[in-house]
Each structure stands twice: as structure tokens, then as C-alpha cells.
Amino acid sequence: MSTARGGVWAVVPVKEFAFAKQRLAGEFTPSFRHRLAQAMLCDVLAALRGARQLAGFAVITADPEAGRLAQDFGGRWLVETPVRGLNAAVSAAAAVLGAEGRGGMLVLPGDIPAVTSAEVDALIAGHGAGRAVSLVAAHDGQGTNAVLVSPPGMMTFAFGPMSFATSRRCAGARLRAAMPRSGAVSRPCARCRHRGAGAPARRSAPLFAHAPAAGGRGLPIIDAAGSPAMTI
């Protein structure tokens, strides 16, 4: 991790684990959804901890368990209060980092467990210096899975449906890079493939092999070829 005083800080906004992956409630038990969200966050935090271009990283959340995980990995816990949604949480984090004189902020979701430190470093290196915005689209080309802004509070955040196009408009002339897809940064949890020998161990990997369905059955969500059998 970089020792630069200003530098780029990564921020991961995290919903309370009790409410994680609600759209899967009909398929998976609450306990499994909790463990899945926790494991994926750990994978993302491990990648951020190993990124050399980052000056630091933080989780903004109202969930004490998620906050403690951030601290366990060497990051900060920014307490989300009051809870007003994703864009409000990211804006609050930007205000904190801006007040501290940080040079930039990289916002990543907590459910891209195949992201690597090298991918984070490449994104920051490509962003360069000065006032700018870099964006990475989600797998569908419509959502946004990474926003890098320098300085942290330079733009209005617009996560949500069709956010990639909206974020491009918000960035305006400061847009430096808008990537339709970029490696694991673009892939949601069930789209992450095993990377083979030499790849870092993923806490979430065993959960993708057999997921306990709400009815108690084991539900494989990675097929025999290593491709996702369903999208989370």
C-alpha cells in the first residue's frame, strides 16, 4: 500500500448483512446470504489491502460486523449514520476523505470477490493525476462497479439503475476513462471464475460450490466447467 499522505483511498459501501442479497430470499436461506455477503466482502478487502497504489481503504456501513472486518484487514470503519442509501453513504465518505485532504477516492462494491490487487493498481495508474473521473461499468454495461474521483467530492454520485450513463453525464468534461468492462471489477459474485493455480484463495469460493436453498436442498451455482449456472 502506498505511503503517500494524500493518495487515493478506496471506499466500500456495505449494506447491513441482515439485509444482504434480498433478491435471493426465495432461493437461499438468510444464514447463507449473510455468510455469502461477509465472505465476498473479505475477498474485496484482501484485494484492497494488497494494492500498492492505494493510500488506504475504508468500509462505510452501519453494520458493526462489517466495520470490524474492515479493521481486521487493516482498514477503517466509517460509521454510516443515518442510513440513507448508497449514494448518501458514498457522499458522506467523500466528505470525510476530502476534509482529510485525500487526493482521490475509489468506490467499489463489496460483491466482486474475484477482483485483484493488480486490477485495482491498474485502474489507479490509468487514472493519472489531476481533477478527473474514471468509471468501470458493471457486467451488464448499465450499472457502475467502480468510480474513481479526484478529489473525492468532485462529482455527484449516481449509483443505481442505468448509473453508468448517468455517471458519465455527471462527470462531464472531467471524465478521463469510461470502461465498459474491466476484468473482475465488472463481474458480480456468481460470475467470478476460479483463476487456477497461483490465484489467491477466495473465502467466497466454497459458498459458490453448493449453496443451501431456502428449502434445504444443496443448489450448485457453479457448473462443471467453472462457469456460473446462475447469476447472483
**For the segment 178-223, what is each residue's pLDDT rounded down to a tens digit?**
776 544 444 444 333 334 334 456 777 666 555 555 444 333 333 3
**Is residue 76 domain-resident?**
yes
Query: Residue 73 has what pLDDT?
Result: 97
> 2 in a domain, yes or no?
no
Q: Give the domain range for residue 43.
A: 8-189
- Confidence (pTM): 0.80
Within a domain: 106: yes
Please give the backbone phi and psi of residue 65, each rounded to the nearest 5 degrees, phi first: -65, -45
Asked whether residue 121 is domain-assigned, the answer is yes
Asked if the structure places residue 20 within a domain, the reply is: yes
Using CA atoms in the order 166, 119, 69, 218, what is the torsion angle rounded to 10 degrees?
90
* Structural domain includes residue 70: yes
Do the domain assignments include residue 27? yes
- Asked whether residue 22 is domain-assigned, the answer is yes
State the pLDDT confidence band at 140, using cuts at 50, 70 and 90: confident
The residues, ordered by sequence, that sit 6+ positions from 123 with a Cβ below 8 Å of its Cβ are: 106, 134, 136, 146, 148, 182, 185
What is the number of domains present in the chain?
1
> Residues of 53-76 as b/e, b for ≥16 C-beta within 10 angstroms?
bbbbbbbbbebeebbebbeebebb
CATH number of residue 153's parent domain: 3.90.550.10
The pLDDT of residue 203 is: 72
